[in-house]
Amino acid sequence: MLYYYLILFFIFGLIVGSFLSVVVSRLETGESILGGRSQCPKCKKKIRSYDLVPLLSFVVLKGRCRYCEKKISLFYPLIELATGILFALLLYRFSDIFTGANLYLFFGLHLIILASLVAIFFYDCFYYIIPDKVLVPAGLTTLVLAIINVLLAKRFQLDFFIYQPEIWNLVLGIIIGGGFFLLLVLISKERWMGWGDVKLGVFLGLFLGYPSILVALFFAFILGSIYSVVLLLSKKKKMKDAVPFGPFLVLGGLIALFAGKFIVSWYLGV
Ligand SMILES: [Zn+2]
């Protein structure tokens, strides 16, 4: 039965990913996200609805426009696949922990947050900006549910945070996640990190809480360092070139979400 739902979540993720690709490609150009069918960036022909099937269309068309044969960016199948895999992974990892009303609340909340993280990842890769239009709604959703969770958890047996049922875990998470990047921004005068990283740090701190936020920061810096060294060695970038940090923070956050509990208990030796 689980496999049936895993496939369902994966397909749902593909569809959401397809929507996210529109959000990411249109937010910066200011086009309406809901209105107007997508068009080929080269020949401007409207893309037919049967060519908009997530992932499948890309494979069938062999990654080229049906009309002008220009290569379609790998970004589209990648963002769809990433969302599909994350949605299925969420179900696989947490389906046995939550039951009843908590199950729906937990998955509802976390699917929104995962989708936001995917959008932030690709957006920051392309434009070196972490968009408030994605970050603020995701942060507010988490905040509202955190308040409900902290205030009403005991009364209604609601509990949809994985690791930190207490308020101090969340407050400490925000202080560490936001404060750390705030320091880096102030010290470097925005050369190492931007205000977007501070906001993303606050959001992840609220979402993951303490101590999981430490796992996220740790892996973000490990992965970011490896990537920078590879770029420097391959001479693709110079020391002073900017590398967006948001994508690594997102990856660190995902590692903390899916494996944080294991990593923390392994580290503490319990
Ligand atoms: Zn075309």
Residue 23 inside a domain? The answer is: yes
- Number of domains forming the structure of the chain: 1
Structure tokens at 76: 């589209």
Q: How far is the CA of 81 from the centre of ligand 1 (A)?
A: 23
Q: Tell me the average pLDDT across 70-74.
A: 88
CA 207 to chain centre: 12
Q: How far is the CA of 38 from the centre of ligand 1 (A)?
A: 11
> Where does residue 210 fall: left (phi above 0), alpha (psi -120 to 50 degrees), or beta otherwise?
beta
Residue 68 inside a domain? The answer is: yes
| Segment 114-125, tens digit of pLDDT | 999 999 999 999
Q: Tell me the average pLDDT across 171-177.
A: 94
Q: How far is the CA of 61 from the centre of ligand 1 (A)?
A: 12
Between residues 230 and 151, which one has the greater pLDDT?
230
Residue 197 inside a domain? The answer is: no
Q: How far is the CA of 84 from the centre of ligand 1 (A)?
A: 26
User: Angle at the Cα of 72 (from 68 to 77), degrees rounded to 5?
Assistant: 150
Residue 42 inside a domain? The answer is: yes
Q: How far is the CA of 208 from the centre of ligand 1 (A)?
A: 43
Q: Tell me the average pLDDT across 54-71.
A: 90
Q: What whole-number distance in Å separates Cα of residue 13 and Cα of residue 9?
A: 6
Q: Say whether the peptide bond before residue 211 is cis (omega within 30 degrees of 0).
A: yes
- Report the interhelical angle of 75-94 vs 2-27 (nearest 10°): 140
Q: How far is the CA of 141 from the centre of ligand 1 (A)?
A: 38
Average pLDDT of the chain to the nearest whole number: 87
pTM > 0.95: yes or no: no
Q: Tell me the average pLDDT across 98-103.
A: 74
Q: How far is the CA of 64 from the centre of ligand 1 (A)?
A: 8
In terms of C-beta density within 10 A (0-12 exposed, 13-18 middle, 19 or more buried), how is residue 220 classed?
A: buried
Residue 172 inside a domain? The answer is: no
Q: What's at 128, amino acid-wise?
A: Y
pLDDT band at 137 (very low <50, low <70, confident <90, very high): very high
CB-based burial, 109-126: b 16+ in 10 Å, e otherwise: bbbbbbbbbbbbbbbbee
| Segment 23-36, tens digit of pLDDT | 898 877 777 777 66
Answer yes or no: are the C-beta atoms of 72 and 63 closer than 8 Å. yes
Which residues constitute the domain of residue 90? 1-96
Residue 80 inside a domain? The answer is: yes
Residue 134 inside a domain? The answer is: no
pLDDT at residue 101 above 80? no
Q: Tell me the average pLDDT across 8-19.
A: 95
pLDDT for the residue numbered 158: 59
pLDDT for the residue numbered 160: 60
Q: Which residues partner with 71 through β-bridges?
A: 64
Q: How far is the CA of 69 from the centre of ligand 1 (A)?
A: 6
Residue 214 inside a domain? The answer is: no
Q: How far is the CA of 234 from the centre of ligand 1 (A)?
A: 33
Q: How far is the CA of 39 from the centre of ligand 1 (A)?
A: 8
Q: How far is the CA of 49 from the centre of ligand 1 (A)?
A: 15
Q: How far is the CA of 72 from the centre of ligand 1 (A)?
A: 9
